[in-house]
Amino acid sequence: MSQACCHDHDHHPAGDDLDRSLSHGFYVAIALTAVTLIAEVAGGLWTNSLALLSDAAHVFMDLFALVLSLLAIRLARFPATDRRTYGWHRAEIMASLVNGLTLLLIAAGILTEAWQRLLHPEAVKSREMFVIATIGLVMNLIAAARLHRHSHDDLNVRSAFLHVLGDAIASVGVIAGGVIMLYTGWFALDALISVAIVLIIGFGALRLLREAGHILLEGVPAHLDLNRVVARMREVDGVSDIHHLHVWSICSHITALSAHIDVDPAHRRRQGEIVGRLEEMLAREFHITHTTLQADCASCLTGPVIQQLRHRPRRSGHDHGHAH
């Protein structure tokens, strides 16, 4: 005899308020980033500064990332269906993956242009460059502040926050470069600042790709110690052992777990209660909010704690022939 139980959490008014606050933060960040983009494109062309144009390219990707991330939040609100039983929560991970890839592409373009400027430095209007970069820094800091409080537990928001923060750091470099070039006339520094921006972009992109790829490959969330999870499940009264365990992330803030629970024969009549206690403990201690637990009697044949997945056997060419 077995009992299957599935648990998930529903949206609450507090969660809806958080979503509204997050969406408002995105709208403000998008507006500020759009203003920064216009200012830096116009300023970069006016001052002949590759650093400003490079930063403008980064800002464009920031704007793309913010719009994409906001779209992912909207899609995540769509209900689950018979074709998409997890709904659209994975849209945020896809957005993060696209953000990371586009960051790498823009970094490659900046690096190519910076190399040409290092070989053939060009004069830059340093004073104007300083003023425009300062405006961009202020805009980026305000936008980053609106996203920061939501960036710790949501990969999608963190990807957008890192875009904006990286551009703020790049703006500091552009400002410093403008001051130095103003007093020294060392215009090759403009290209060197662009190379530094590439390093910032590349580091953030690789980190995003690693985290998004880990979720898409159904990896165990980085914050979880699987041995600790199993140990705590075994400590629940009536649980004899755990096997066929799987833990993965549906998105950055929804962790799922499925497992078979060996129930001691003396507690067989309390299977439902035991499963409920396990669900409550997993949600409270490990923030695992989507669980599927199957309770079996302890005398049943058990398997390993981690179940190996296998493809079904492939049919040979002879199996496709007609039967006589």
In degrees and rounded to multiples of 5, residue 241 shows phi and psi of -165, 170
pTM exceeding 0.85: no
d(CA 281, CA 278): 5
d(CA 38, CA 40): 6
Burial of 206 (0-12, 13-18, 19+ CB in 10 A): middle
Residues 6+ apart with CB under 8 A from 127: 178, 182
Are 153 and 252 a contacting pair, CB within 8 Å? Answer: yes
Select from 165, 201, 160, 166 the least CA-distant residue to 66: 160
Nearest 5°: the CA angle 283, 277, 16 is 35
Q: What CATH number matches the domain at 12-216, 1.10.3720.10, 1.10.287.610, 1.20.200.10, 1.20.1510.10?
A: 1.20.1510.10
Residues 6+ apart with CB under 8 A from 99: 61, 64, 65, 68, 69, 159, 160, 163, 205, 208
Tell me what pLDDT residue 187 has: 85
Select from 198, 194, 177, 188 the least CA-distant residue to 132: 177
Quick one: DSSP state of residue 261?
Answer: E
Q: For residue 299, give both structure tokens.
A: 């005398």
CATH number of 226-297: 3.30.70.1350
State the pairing for strand pair 254-263/239-251. Answer: antiparallel
Quick one: DSSP state of residue 299?
Answer: T
Residue type, 283: A
Select from 119, 122, 111 the least CA-distant residue to 200: 111
C-beta neighbour count of 19 within 10 angstroms: 16
Same fold: 12-216 with 226-297? no
Tell me what pLDDT residue 235 has: 93
Are 157 and 151 a contacting pair, CB within 8 Å? Answer: yes
Would you list the domain boundaries of the chain?
12-216, 226-297
Are 103 and 162 a contacting pair, CB within 8 Å? Answer: no
C-beta neighbour count of 287 within 10 angstroms: 14
Are 5 and 275 a contacting pair, CB within 8 Å? Answer: yes
Block means of pLDDT (10 residues each) for the chain, length 324 residues?
43 49 75 88 87 81 78 78 84 82 84 85 84 87 76 65 77 86 86 84 83 90 92 92 91 88 86 93 93 76 64 60 50
Residue 228: alpha-carbon gap to chain centroid: 25
Are 125 and 51 a contacting pair, CB within 8 Å? Answer: no
